[in-house]
Amino acid sequence: MELNLEAKVRDSKSKKAELTKLRKDRMIPGVVYGGKKSPVNVVVNEKELTKLVKAGGANAIIHLKTAKGDDTVILKELQRHVVNNQPIHADFQRISMTAKIEVKVPLHVVGEAPGVKTGGGILEHVLREFKVRALPAKIPQKIDLDVSNLQLNQSIHVKDVAIPEGVEVLDALDHIVVNIVQPTAEEVVAPAPGAEGAAAGTEPEVIAKGKKEEEGAEGEKKEGAKAAAPAKEEKKAEAKK
């Protein structure tokens, strides 16, 4: 799909405050590069770019119009804020409609897998996109992945997927794309028989032992005091004599 987008050329030495204001006004700073031309710093309307990506997909062909001329580009990368997910920078790559380019195309699951519906399995996605090479006009928005015949413990490989004419998939042909796996139950490790009792019996035993030792120490002190008392009485008796 080919779409049009207006862009304004901006100063290559834009200050941080200027870029912050642009983003606050819902304008996205960006750069146009590639081909035989020099890179150009631009700014585009966030709402308009979002609308184009939604309509034409991530690999939409965009005719970017600026004061320095028109460029045929694709949106190579759209950087987003890590917290609010707002677009903060756009990279546009110049392309030729007569030269093949390499891009990533998302996979779209079609149908309901019997291995999930009746087999109780889980559909596991190993790949969610293909890396492909094609002329810009031949690049699909998405590649359908039919799972309507997929049973439990079965897989679909790259070589099994129907690819549109004129598109070359660069991923390994024997790579698994999706498979149906059995759900794994959470294993709970039970304590060994008598382990709780043994653990419970250990602590009181130590405490009891400590108490006995303390009691024994106190007993020794008391006995020592009792032994010292008769000795004093004997000394007093001798003094009276």
Structure confidence at residue 11 (pLDDT): 79
CB-side neighbour CA atoms (13 Å) of 136: 22
Q: Is 25 left (phi over 0), alpha (psi -120 to 50) or beta?
A: alpha
Ordered by start, the domain boundaries in the chain are 2-95, 102-181, 192-241
Architecture of domain 2-95: Beta Barrel (2.40)
Structure tokens at 67: 């004061």
CB-side neighbour CA atoms (13 Å) of 76: 14
Same fold for the pair 2-95 and 102-181: no
Q: Residue 34 corresponds to which amino acid?
A: G
**b/e burial code for range 64-95 (CB count within 10 A of at least 16 → b):** bebeeeebbbbbbebeeeeeeeebbebbbbbb
Please say whether the beta carbons of 36 and 57 come within 8 A: no
How far is Cα 170 from Cα 141, in angstroms, rounded to an integer?
17
The residues that bridge with 106 in the sheet, in sequence order, are 129
Architecture of domain 102-181: Beta Complex (2.170)
Tens of each residue's pLDDT in the chain, 241 residues: 789 999 999 877 768 888 889 999 999 999 999 988 999 999 999 999 999 989 888 899 999 999 888 999 999 999 999 999 999 999 999 999 999 999 999 999 999 999 999 999 999 999 999 999 999 999 999 999 999 999 999 999 999 999 999 999 999 999 999 999 998 865 445 555 555 544 444 444 444 444 444 444 444 444 444 444 455 555 444 444 4
Structure confidence at residue 192 (pLDDT): 57
Nearest to 42 by CA among 3, 77, 75, 6: 6
Structure tokens at 222: 């008391």
Structure confidence at residue 186 (pLDDT): 59
How far is Cα 134 from Cα 172, in angstroms, rounded to an integer?
17
Nearest to 53 by CA among 106, 123, 117: 106
